[in-house]
Amino acid sequence: MARKVLIIEDDSNIAQLLHLYLEKEGFQTCVARDGGEGVETFHAFQPDLVLLDIMLPVMDGWAVLNDIRQAGDTPVIMLTAKGEVEDRVAGLEQGADDYIVKPFEMKEVLARIHAVLRRSCAEEDTGEKKLDFENLTINLDSYELTVNGQRVDTPPKELELLFHLASSPNRVFTRNQLLDEVWGFDYFGDSRTVDVHIKRLREKLEGVSPKWSLKTVWGVGYKFEVMTD
C-alpha cells in the first residue's frame, strides 16, 4: 500500500510541485491550502507523514503542529522560508521531525521523507520502549517521562534523545551520531540542536539521582552515565 503524505502549503505552485513529484514517486498525497483545512484533512486522511508550511492562513504551522502532536506522533517535516538557526531549532523542539528551508530541491525533499519514514518504521518494530532507573522512567510507548514519581511534560524529541542515550548506558555519542540516529538525518542537521535539547533535559533531571546523570564528554559528545557499585 502506498504511504500517504499530507501537504499543508498555501503556495499553489509549491503545493502542486510537491503533489506531482511525490505521486510520481509512488506516494498517495493530499493537499490542504490553509492551517484550518490542514487540521481537518489530517484527521480525515490519516497520513503517514505531513509536510507542513509554517506561514499559513487561518492557523499557522506551529498551531497545526501542536494539534497533530496532541493526536499522536505522526512524522512532520516543516517547510519554512526562514533559514535562521533559531527558527529551525524551535521547530524541532516543538515536535517536528525535520525541516526543509525554501527554496529546496525535490531530491532533498524525497531524501528527508524516506529518512524520517525509515526511522518511524524502525521505532514501530522495536517492541516495548520503557527504561527504568532510580527516580526516572522513560516510556516511549506512552511518550511519558516520570521523575520522582511525577510526570514531566517533555517534547517528543527530548524524550527520544534521552531514551536513545539511556538505552546504551555509559556509551559516548557524538552530536552527529545523535542527529543521525535520533532525528534520522546527518548532514542535514545542526549540532546546536542536540546541545539545546540536552540543556533542556538537564533542567528537568538536575539532582534527581546520584546513580545516573547526563554527562558531556568534552570534544566528543554526550553520554547517559550510570554509576557502578
DSSP letters for 135-158:
TEEEETTTTEEEETTEEE---HHH
Q: How many residues does the chain have?
A: 229
Cite the residue boundaries of each domain of the chain with CATH code 3.40.50.2300. 4-124
pLDDT at 187: 41
> CA 222 → CA 80, 115, 198, 217, distances in Å?
30, 23, 9, 6
The whole-angstrom separation of Cα 115 and Cα 28 is 17
Q: What is the β-pairing status of strands 173-174 and 221-226? A: antiparallel
Q: The CATH number of 4-124 is which of 3.30.465.10, 3.40.640.10, 3.40.50.2300, 3.90.1640.10?
A: 3.40.50.2300
CA angle 65, 67, 71 (to 5 degrees): 110
pLDDT at 83: 61
Residue 46 — φ and ψ, nearest 5°?
Answer: 50, 65
Mean pLDDT of each 10-residue bin along the chain, 229 residues long = 89 94 90 96 95 93 92 89 66 80 86 80 62 92 89 88 91 86 61 88 93 92 86
pLDDT at 177: 82
Long-range pairs, 134-139, Cβ under 8 A, ≥24: 134/209, 134/211, 134/212, 135/208, 135/209, 136/205, 136/208, 136/209, 136/212, 138/162, 138/163, 138/166
Pick the closest to residue 74 from 106, 53, 45, 110 (CA basis). 45
Can you tell me whether residue 16 is helix, strand or coil? helix
Pick the closest to residue 49 from 9, 115, 5, 92 (CA basis). 5
CATH no., domain 130-226: 1.10.10.10
pLDDT at 200: 92
Sign of the dihedral defined by the CA atoms of residues 174, 180, 186, 188, in that order = negative
pTM score, whole prediction: 0.59
pLDDT at 82: 64
